[in-house]
Amino acid sequence: MEDKNIFHEALNILGLPPFVTKNEIKKRYRELAKKYHPDVSSDKDKILELNRAYSLLIEYIDNFRYSFDEQEIGKQLPHINHNSKFKM
């Protein structure tokens, strides 16, 4: 798996779209973990695959770095006049 595609593959394993929240990832993982738990499924490799995909996505979300520079804020929230919020 190429580095740039590992996140897309992890999302595919969990059956999730590219735009998803952390709560949606957790909910979907719990659903699939119940379905493929070794006590109820004979597919022992599937739970390992689900665990790896879930861990990768959660680690990315938990360690994501946010940029608070004016240019980035302007791109993400163009409707907010950043400078006017912090007038001194």
For the stretch 35-52, pLDDT in tens is 999 999 888 899 999 999
What's the predicted TM-score (pTM) here? 0.73
pLDDT < 50 regions, the chain: 1
Per-residue DSSP letters for the chain?
Answer: --GGGHHHHHHHHHT--SS--HHHHHHHHHHHHHHH-TTT-S-HHHHHHHHHHHHHHHHHHHTPPP--SHHHHHHH-TTS-HHHHT--
Domains of the chain and any CATH numbers: 3-85 (1.10.287.110)
